Amino acid sequence: MSRLRPRALARRALPLLLAAQAVLLPAGLVSGTAHAQQLSCPPTACGSVSTGPVSQAPPSEGPCTSPDKAVCLVRSQTPEEREKSREIRVRYHELLAEMDRTECEMRTEGRSEEEIARKLVQMRNEAKHITRAGMSPDEVRVLEERNRQKYGNPLGPTADQLYAKYGSWRAVSDAAGRTSVAVDHELGLEYRPCGCEAERAA
């Protein structure tokens, strides 16, 4: 029974950790292509890319060598559980790609940094079907209660709360679309940002 408990905890805790990473990780680079009012982001150029299969190793029961708790939880999963985590991660990458395209479109329209940041935070917070994936109703209630206590609402930090933390609207936009390279690598994935050429030329 004691050997099953860590794996059960990993299954329950991983979705919450993956959902929380969007506002906890260092900012990444942004790149991509856009032309005038038409967005151009071919599937082969950006988004979720498979770099290999998930590990078929049995669940790790020894000390974890990674400083990333989500990576440690992935390693404690069975191969079947890792496949499920990979599916959830791909869905999260799809959300990031849509956020990248939205940001690019808003930049070509000349929208302000604040408008862009508020829209991206809204998109991330409203994507419950992704950030709550794999969680039971009880786990969702626990997560939403934690968010209420910490942020005052069940969805997570607001744009204003992130602005108070990071000090600029551009930093808020970056925070809203982050992904953990370490977790992606552990699940055999890579996220390639779908950015905007208009942004680089500005």
Do the Cβ atoms of 154 and 52 come closer than 8 Å? no
Q: How far apart are CA 107 and CA 200, in angstroms?
A: 10
* 55 DSSP 8-state letter: P
- pLDDT for residue 33 is more than 70: no
- pLDDT for residue 108 is more than 90: yes
- pLDDT for residue 20 is more than 80: no
What are the strands, taking DSSP E only, across the chain? 34-35, 38-39, 47-50, 189-192
Nearest-5° Cα angle at 86, 194 to 50: 50
Q: How far apart are CA 185 and CA 180, in angstroms?
A: 9
pLDDT band for 8, please (50, 70, 90 cuts). low
Q: How far apart are CA 193 and CA 186, in angstroms?
A: 18
Residues above pLDDT 90, as percent of the chain: 46
Candidate from 17-26, 58-67, 85-94, 107-116 with smallest mean pLDDT: 17-26
pLDDT at residue 178, rounded to an integer = 87
**For 170-192, what is the mean pLDDT?**
93
pLDDT at residue 24, rounded to an integer = 39
Q: What are phi and psi of 76, to 5 degrees?
A: -85, -5
Q: How far apart are CA 166 and CA 157, in angstroms?
A: 12
Count up the domains in the chain and report the number.
1
Residue 24: Cβ within 10 Å count: 11
Candidate from 5-9, 32-36, 147-151, 152-156 with smallest mean pLDDT: 32-36
pLDDT at residue 147, rounded to an integer = 85
Q: What are phi and psi of 67, to 5 degrees?
A: -75, -10
Amino acid, single-letter form, for residue 122: Q
Four-CA torsion 12, 21, 95, 162, nearest 10 degrees: 130
Tokens at 7, concatenated: 């794996």
Strands 189-192 and 34-35, by their bridges, are unpaired
Containing domain of residue 79, as a range? 4-201
**For 150-161, what is the mean pLDDT?**
88
